[in-house]
């Protein structure tokens, strides 16, 4: 118990430290190549902060009996936490401007999330035909990112002098740190909370989801402190898309390639409703360019606390 607790804390600290370094390195690369901060958040930063979820999914998929409940719970829980908890807590300190998100990005978030959620209402498992759908969304999203129009203004295009190629190595090291921190946090959290008698799905949507969403929280807050709020916003939206296409989908393929069935947990519908509601809320706020202030932040954090209290 004591060892597990220490390793859980160490894993989280490693995640936070690497998230701090990652935002600095990603911003440096964005300036060097005159890339949109939102695009950097949607891609490089989102991939890095989704690394813990990917670790959890791969490890759970390779178990003798795949921990599909934990995979589902972690992906859904992380996405709900990103939209409601992370943005809510961040908005207690800063006004979060969702109007920076492009309509096309909102469209991808909506259709990918609701395709994922739709499957829970029509079947008891993820069949091969559903994998084809995820693959089509994956190709479409990659094409969208490839043709993403930069929103950089002239004053943002001042490349830093003395740009060092070693920045890529440092960025990769932060990804590795997030990977290791995520693995430590996963293994020891599962042992610790199974000992306390919690179900895997509950662990996934609460403990693991909050823990693996800490990099997103650190990224958003640090991005606003460094006057790079667009990177933080892009990171949250990008992470939710990444969690389905680049985290859940690979886990699904691993399980299917082993000739096993990826069953849908019976107690997952409540969590799917939470995911759908939180996604629609953020998209509406974005479309109407409504900033998340302290009042909305309190509603968000209170709603999330109520949700966690209810399922635990």
Using a 10 angstrom Cβ sphere, with 0-12 exposed, 13-18 middle and 19 or more buried, the burial of residue 15 is: buried
Between residues 44 and 201, which one has the greater pLDDT? 44
DSSP 8-state class, residue 204: I
How would you class 97 by CB atoms within 10 Å of its CB: exposed for 0-12, middle for 13-18, buried for 19 or more? middle
Mean model confidence pLDDT for the chain: 83
Do 286 and 99 meet the contact criterion of CB atoms below 8 Å apart?
Answer: yes
Give the whole-angstrom CA distance, residue 140 versus residue 135: 9
| DSSP β-bridge partners for residue 292 | 96
Would you state the pLDDT for residue 129?
92
Strand partners, 126: 262
Calculate mean pLDDT across residues 137-143. Answer: 94
Please tell me the least confidently modeled range out of 27-36, 132-141, 194-203.
194-203
Please give the pLDDT value at position 292: 92
CB crowding 142-169: b at 16 or more within 10 Å, else e: eeeeeebeeebeeeeeeeeeeeeeebee
Residue 289 sits in a domain whose CATH number is 1.20.1420.30
Q: Which domain holds residue 305?
A: 2-311
- pTM given for the model: 0.81
Q: Give residue-wise pLDDT tens across range 152-178.
A: 444 444 444 445 667 778 888 887 887
- List pLDDT tens digits, range 245-281: 999 999 999 999 999 989 888 778 899 999 999 999 9
| Contact predicate 240/117, CB 8 Å | no
The span from the CA of 56 to the CA of 58, in Å, is: 6
Specify the number of domains making up the chain.
1
DSSP state of 161: T
pLDDT band at 130 (very low <50, low <70, confident <90, very high): very high
pLDDT at 288: 92
- Say what percent of the chain tops pLDDT 90: 35
Tally the C-alpha atoms within 13 A of residue 255's C-alpha that lie toward its C-beta: 29
Residue 145's alpha-carbon distances to 4, 31, 36, 139, 142, in angstroms, are 40, 18, 11, 10, 5
Average pLDDT score over residue span 62-71: 82
Residue 191: closest CA among 35, 4, 17, 2? 4
Could you tell me whether strands 96-97 and 291-292 are parallel, antiparallel, or unpaired per DSSP bridges?
A: antiparallel
Give the DSSP H or E segment for 191.
helix 166-195
């Amino acid at each position: 118990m004591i060892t597990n607790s220490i390793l859980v804390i160490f894993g989280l600290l490693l995640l936070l430290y690497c998230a701090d370094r990652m935002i600095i390195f990603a911003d440096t690369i964005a300036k060097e190549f005159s890339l949109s901060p939102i695009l950097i958040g949607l891609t490089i930063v989102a991939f890095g902060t989704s690394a813990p979820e990917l670790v959890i999914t791969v490890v759970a998929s390779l178990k003798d009996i795949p921990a599909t409940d934990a995979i589902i719970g972690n992906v859904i829980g992380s996405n709900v936490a990103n939209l409601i908890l992370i943005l809510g807590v961040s908005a207690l300190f800063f006004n979060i401007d969702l109007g920076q998100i492009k309509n096309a990005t909102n469209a991808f978030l909506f259709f990918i999330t609701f395709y994922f959620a739709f499957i829970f209402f029509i079947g008891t498992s993820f069949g091969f035909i559903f994998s084809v759908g995820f693959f089509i969304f994956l190709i479409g999203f990659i094409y969208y990112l490839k043709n993403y129009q930069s929103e950089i203004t002239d004053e943002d295009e001042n490349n830093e002098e003395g740009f060092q190629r070693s920045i890529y190595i440092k960025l990769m090291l932060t990804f590795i740190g997030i990977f290791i921190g995520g693995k430590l946090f996963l293994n020891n959290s599962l042992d610790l909370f199974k000992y306390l008698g919690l179900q895997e799905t509950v662990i996934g949507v609460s403990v693991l989801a909050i823990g693996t969403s800490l990099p997103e929280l650190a990224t958003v807050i640090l991005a606003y402190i460094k006057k790079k709020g667009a990177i933080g916003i892009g990171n949250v939206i990008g992470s939710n898309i990444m969690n389905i296409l680049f985290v859940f989908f690979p886990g699904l393929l691993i399980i299917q390639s082993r000739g096993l069935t990826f069953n849908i947990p019976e107690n997952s519908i409540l969590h799917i409703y939470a995911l759908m509601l939180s996604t629609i809320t953020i998209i509406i706020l974005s479309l109407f360019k409504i900033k998340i202030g302290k009042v909305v932040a309190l509603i968000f954090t209170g709603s999330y606390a109520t949700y966690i209290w209810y399922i635990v």
